[in-house]
Amino acid sequence: MARDGASDAGRPRVSKQRVELRVERKRRRLRGRTTLTCEVEGEECAGGIAVRRGGGVRVVAARANGVACETTSIDATKDGFAETASVDDAASLGKDARARLDRECGTSEEVIIRAIGDGKIEARPKDSEGGSGEENGAESGTRGKEIVLEIEYEAESGFFADDSYFLCPGPSRRSSSWFPCIERGDALTTFDFAVNAPRDWQVVASAHWDRVEKCRDSDEGEDEDGFRLIHHFSGMYPTFAHEMRLICGKLSAVSTPIKGVTLFAPAGQGLEERMQTAAVGIGKAIVAYEEYLGHPYPVSCLNVVFLPDALVRERDALGACVNVHSARWLVDPALNSALLDARVHLATAIARQWFGGIVVPADTTDCWVVEGLAQYLAGMYVKNLTGLNELSFTRMKDMRLAAAMDDGASLPPLASRAARIWRGGHYAGPDPFAGGAPKPLSKSVERALQAKAVAVIYMLEKRLGPDVMQKVLKYFAGLHVRRNKKEQATRTGPSNEVLAGNARWIHTLQLFDHCRATVNLGKGEVNSFLERWVYGAGTPKLSVGYVVKRKKNVMEFAVKLEGSAAAAAADRAALAVARNHRSSVTVRMREENRADANDHVVSLGQSSWQLMEIPLQPRPKDRRPKTIIESGGDPELIAAMDCPVRYVRVDPEFEWMGNIEQSARQVGLESMMAQMLEKEKDIVAQIVAVEFLGRRVANGSVSAVLVLDKCLNSEDTFCRVRAEAAMALGKSASEKTQWGSLHALLRHYKKYQCDERTGKPKQNDFRDLAKVIVDKAVITALAHVYDEEAKCTHADAIDAIVNRLKYNNNEGNPQSDDGFVATCLSALARCVPATLGELRAITAQIHYYIRRDSRFPSVDLCVTCAGIRALGLLSNAVESEELCAAAERAAELGFSLGNQSTLLAATDATMYVRFARTKNELESLKFVLERSASESAATQSAMLWSACDYLSTFAGTDSLKGASKDILVPLRDKLASGDSEIASAAYSIVYVLASHDTAMSEIREAVEEAMKRAGDQIPVGVDVHVHPDHAPVDGARRAEKEAKRARKRERERMKQAAREANEAAAAEQRRIDAEAAFVEQQAEHVSDDKTTGTATIIASEGAQNGPDGTPTGGLKRARENNPSVKSFVETDAGATAALADAPPPPAKKLKLSFKMKKPGA
């Protein structure tokens, strides 16, 4: 491929690079000169030096150590490339996409700099103040030579430019698109900048601002006043080229309480007050991080830039010393709920500068470590801001999201090159752990991987303890600090000089080895944890059941391990490396006569299910009369009165990511969950109880409705738990409980949101954030009250929501009601009215608030967006041409406003209307492809991702088959576009279509093969640091180590098999001896009719079975025949893959004692 032409050219380490830029605003052009200080090992570089530059960068001149050189570009064409074909169907499109991507693979981004003629580039000794080998982790004596390259260039693409802003990098998001560079994954570079820009522009770069000087410009046509400003920046710490950012434009600046942290936002839009609010939050986050880690914040100059939505995407938030965010995160202080979300979002970005910017992953497979540690650190700020309950709720949501998405196919393993969760990422070559075909990550998949990363760190904290986890983070957060005993640690002191050595790298094994050394964890436990949660895919699920046996005074607990084929493979890999460690699940039980709960550990061993008898505390015999049983009382009440166990909580320490399933039909569990909701202080346990009681309400339990109603009205309960109780009541409301859930919601609505005298909604008072959260949840829950028989939303629920909007009064409220109104409009969008009058009442309120928003605009026009989407969803739920026309008019209004949020809302509404009229999802996709072509790159990619999410909701339908030429051609063009985000979204759409239409598989295979061949050169994904090809010696060493590990695993497997065989043989011998002893003892009893003996036999369960499968040899009862668990462990022929692939369980022993008496004469 293209790399072959530069195989003889060197890619030396660059210790320092200076970039001098001239930004030409009117010509939309960038001119620059860059100086690279390269470290070399030899005296010369005969083959030249390979420098990366984007397709829009033209090299004008180059010099090496002051000597002029020639530049050679690798030919972009290659024999054998197919010509583009006419697109008639999916097959021809696949061939055309393959040809275009092959041509893209043949295009090299490297230019070779060689000496003119037959000369060689000779190295010179290092300057005393020049590049330092110490900065790149090298010893001072190994590299004593350097080559200084000077390159002059021009760029006409690879950046974004208009009259107000100039942003680098551009849509391709590659560093080489705006300055030539040499980037190696094993080396870091210090970057300095000198930017020549118009004097009315602010300049922000990924370096420390030093000074500004006036420059007299000879080009009078560029600036009317005839002079410009040169901004000088110096690099603070070595980093990668793809971390560089340059932002020029009309910006206003605000300083934060933390020295060196500055906020920038578009000037002239009145955002100064919001910037001050955001600055306070950022300052508190940094202080919280410093107090927790015991180190000063390592980035002494941090620029937080807020830009319009059309210029910012979700994955552009992080660069070296620069955080780029959408201006919507500058929230008005009057929106308390949105302000909380904005502060958490900004605090997470600040934490990623520490873990991810300063402490960087050693390899692409280690990106999850920095992401997980950054989010864990952000949780400490959430804890300081809102308390431990909110942090626990956030972590529970992350675990639930990871468990729901990680089905073995949707998410790749964390430690894989396919899991590009750090700065977006890209496909970085073949990955033995990932499995399946590579594909760019959608936003939902990337969010799920981020949630799984922090969930794994949280699971690790549960094993280590909070104090030990804090020590671990302190250790890794201080790797970049050079310790100086003579000087005190200050923010700008030399003791905090950032190193470029190996201390800044972090990898997976390094983290877990340090954890082992800190708390002395077993190697088998650590290895099994890695194999199951880091190297493996799929989240296992534990199905549990338990019953109390009063006569035996025990609780029988049964657990069955289930999951996908990938989860079963990860479980087998964990068992193979576990050594003496065995997987287990913790059961926390609270008995009636005990003041505290006690934990019991149930070992899973190697079988797919286990049964354990947990002894209970002895209690006096109950002599209460059983009148309630004789009168036919409620079984749940009977079980509650007769049960000595208050409640049972499975996996309280999240050893299995909280993925526990309990049957809602089992008698006796409802009373336990009710007591756990009332007595347990952990909000995660309370939410688990609320969800279980919600399922009980769906089954028709009236007592569960009363418990949830009590929880909803309890002001002592955490607001998130009350909100979950409201949602459980709304989703489970039905005729089975005589609409008890609906009545409970209406009682709460009238009590807390309506006036007692008039019955109408009272004036808003949103100063209490907890009350606002519960009130919003009640409104949303009312919209979920659906009548299955009438196929519509209950009329009382619709009337309540309509009246809440109709009589909404925000006078005298210091807080804005924009967010609450948007929530009510979104609730109306979920409703399905039964009559024309209800439909007109709903649409009247939606149109009213859309008109009000045009006179008194809400924040980011959130009310208009909610109203437009509501009309679109209603047109999809109710067959009405008049409603479809109204939704189209509202969508046109959204398009005319030009705001990205309204554009996306209008796009969603139009997709709903197109589907309502044609009943074909491809028509909606066709509209999005046509409409997005005229929008900006950021808006276009957002529209494509929205269409991809919309198509994913129709998975499994035949309507996704047979895409027309009008859909295939735009998809092909977007796949080969230079915008990485657009190409990723287009490929995700192709992936969804190909999963339903085999004719689209040609396109998918073409993209996948091109990605495998070209790697980072295909514009699908984002640049991250690319590690160079390993030397043959390194490859041989790795192969030898891998072979050694394989031989060790084989020896361990053979030893385990030998031990199991010996144990089986010993068990069989014991069984034979026991039977012989039993026969001999029975013969003695026959000779004496008055003798009573006790015979004890020990047999191996499953050793000998009869034709019907029952054990023989005197064993009349096996564990599978236990009636209390028979229904739980009974499986059909189509058992799950986890059970089918699991190894056979080892022989278990039963000890049966019984008496035999000789029959009387």
Is pLDDT at 903 greater than 90 in this prediction?
A: yes
Per-residue 3-state assignment (H helix, E strand, C coil) for 63-109? EECCEEEEEEECCCCCCCCCCCCCCCCHHHHHHHHHHHHHHHHCCCC
pLDDT at 663: 84
545 occurs within a structural domain: no
For residue 887, the surrounding DSSP H or E stretch is: helix 881-897
CB 452 within 8 A of CB 414: yes
Is pLDDT at 499 greater than 60 in this prediction?
A: no
Query: In angstroms, rounded to a whole number, what is the distance separating the alpha carbons of residues 674 and 578?
Result: 38
Is pLDDT at 949 greater than 80 in this prediction?
A: yes
Q: Give phi and psi for 304, each to the nearest 5.
A: -105, 115
Give the CATH number for residue 451: 1.10.390
Query: In angstroms, rounded to a whole number, what is the distance separating the alpha carbons of residues 353 and 359?
Result: 8
Q: Side chain identity at 18, as an amino acid letter?
A: R
Q: Which residue has the higher pLDDT, 82 or 599?
A: 599
Domain count, the chain: 4
Q: Which residue has the higher pLDDT, 1107 or 947?
A: 947
Q: List, as one string, the DSSP characters of 656-715.
A: TTT-EEE-TTSTTHHHHHHHHHHH---HHHHHHHHHHHHHHHHTT-HHHHHHHHHHHH-T
Q: Are residues 372 and 506 in the same domain?
A: yes
How does the average pLDDT of the chain come out, rounded?
A: 78
Is pLDDT at 300 greater than 90 in this prediction?
A: no
- Which residues form the domain of 1108? 1032-1157
Q: Which residue has the higher pLDDT, 68 or 909?
A: 909
412 occurs within a structural domain: yes
607 occurs within a structural domain: no
Is pLDDT at 960 greater than 80 in this prediction?
A: no
pLDDT at 710: 94
Measured at the alpha carbon of residue 317, what is the angle toward residues 315 and 318, in degrees to the nearest 5?
A: 110
Output Rg (C-alpha) for the chain, integer angstroms. Answer: 34
CB 539 within 8 A of CB 659: yes
* DSSP 8-class letter at 837: H
| The dihedral sign for the CA sequence 594, 598, 603, 608 | positive
- For residue 276, give Cα distances in angstroms to 247, 254, 282: 21, 7, 10
Q: pLDDT (tens digit, 9 = 90+) per residue, 207-258?
A: 999 999 988 655 545 555 457 899 999 988 888 888 889 999 999 999 888 8
Is pLDDT at 1082 greater than 70 in this prediction?
A: no
Which residue, 977, 974, 971, is CA-closest to 922?
A: 971
| The dihedral sign for the CA sequence 850, 851, 854, 859 | negative
Q: Give phi and psi for 849, each to the nearest 5.
A: -75, -25
pLDDT band at 44 (very low <50, low <70, confident <90, very high): low
CB 240 within 8 A of CB 183: yes
Structure tokens of 148? Answer: 């200084």
Measured at the alpha carbon of residue 626, what is the angle toward residues 620 and 628, in degrees to the nearest 5?
A: 130
Listing from the earlier edge strand, what are the strands of the sheet with 202-205?
160-161, 165-168, 246-249, 202-205
For residue 969, the surrounding DSSP H or E stretch is: helix 965-975
928 occurs within a structural domain: no
Name the H helices within 109-258.
none
Q: Which of 39-48, 147-156, 978-987, 1018-1027 has the lowest mean pLDDT?
A: 1018-1027
CB 477 within 8 A of CB 292: no
Q: Which of 28-37, 111-120, 165-174, 1099-1108 has the lowest mean pLDDT?
A: 1099-1108
Is pLDDT at 363 greater than 70 in this prediction?
A: yes
Is pLDDT at 60 greater than 80 in this prediction?
A: yes
Is pLDDT at 337 greater than 60 in this prediction?
A: yes
Across 421-435, average pLDDT: 37
Give the CATH number for residue 63: 2.60.40.1730
586 occurs within a structural domain: no
Across 442-459, average pLDDT: 88
Q: Are residues 136 and 11 in the same domain?
A: yes
**How are beta strands 121-122 and 110-115 bridged, if at all?**
unpaired
* CB proximity list for 265: less than 8 A, separation 6 or greater: 251, 252, 254, 271, 274, 275, 305, 306, 327, 330
Q: pLDDT (tens digit, 9 = 90+) per residue, 1015-1027?
A: 433 333 333 334 4
Structure tokens of 968? Answer: 């295939």
Residue 269 CB-half CA count within 13 A: 19
751 occurs within a structural domain: yes
pLDDT at 657: 82
pLDDT band at 1077 (very low <50, low <70, confident <90, very high): confident
Q: Give phi and psi for 1095, each to the nearest 5.
A: -105, 135
pLDDT at 1096: 37
Q: Are residues 42 and 168 in the same domain?
A: yes
Instruction: Write down which residue in 495, 516, 534 finishes a domain.
Output: 534
Q: Which of 48-57, 185-194, 1060-1069 has the lowest mean pLDDT?
A: 48-57
Highest mean predicted confidence (pLDDT) among 159-168, 342-351, 613-622: 342-351
pLDDT at 778: 96
pLDDT at 1123: 46
Structure tokens of 925? Answer: 């996709």
Q: Are residues 375 and 226 in the same domain?
A: no
Query: In angstroms, rounded to a whole number, what is the distance separating the alpha carbons of residues 1099 and 1071?
Result: 5
Q: What percent of the chain has pLDDT over 90?
A: 31
194 occurs within a structural domain: yes
Q: Give phi and psi for 346, each to the nearest 5.
A: -70, -35
Query: In angstroms, rounded to a whole number, what is the distance separating the alpha carbons of residues 190 and 186?
Result: 14
Is pLDDT at 30 greater than 80 in this prediction?
A: yes
pLDDT at 137: 41
Is pLDDT at 885 greater than 60 in this prediction?
A: yes
824 occurs within a structural domain: no
Q: Which residue has the tokens 């680098």?
A: 168
Q: List, as one string, the DSSP characters of 237-299.
A: S-B-GGG--EEEESEEEEE-SSTTEEEEEETTSS-HHHHHHHHHHHHHHHHHHHHHHSS--S-
Q: pLDDT (tens digit, 9 = 90+) per residue, 553-610?
A: 888 888 888 888 888 888 888 888 877 667 788 888 888 777 778 888 887 766 677 8
Structure tokens of 1098? Answer: 């020990």
Is pLDDT at 731 greater than 80 in this prediction?
A: yes
Across 797-811, average pLDDT: 94
CB 297 within 8 A of CB 490: no
pLDDT at 495: 36
Instruction: Write down which residue in 228, 249, 270 finishes a domain.
Output: 249
Give the CATH number for residue 752: 1.25.10
Q: Residue 821, SS3?
A: helix
Q: Which of 35-39, 75-79, 330-334, 620-624 has the lowest mean pLDDT?
A: 75-79
What's the pTM?
0.81
Torsion of CA 479, 485, 487, 490, to 10 degrees: 30
Q: What percent of the chain has pLDDT over 70?
A: 74
Which residue, 741, 747, 666, 660, is CA-closest to 697?
A: 741
pLDDT band at 773 (very low <50, low <70, confident <90, very high): very high
Q: Which residue has the tokens 């972090």?
A: 506
pLDDT at 307: 92
* DSSP 8-class letter at 532: I
Instruction: Write down which residue in 219, 249, 279 finishes a domain.
Output: 249
Query: In angstroms, rounded to a whole number, what is the distance separating the alpha carbons of residues 91 and 96?
Result: 9
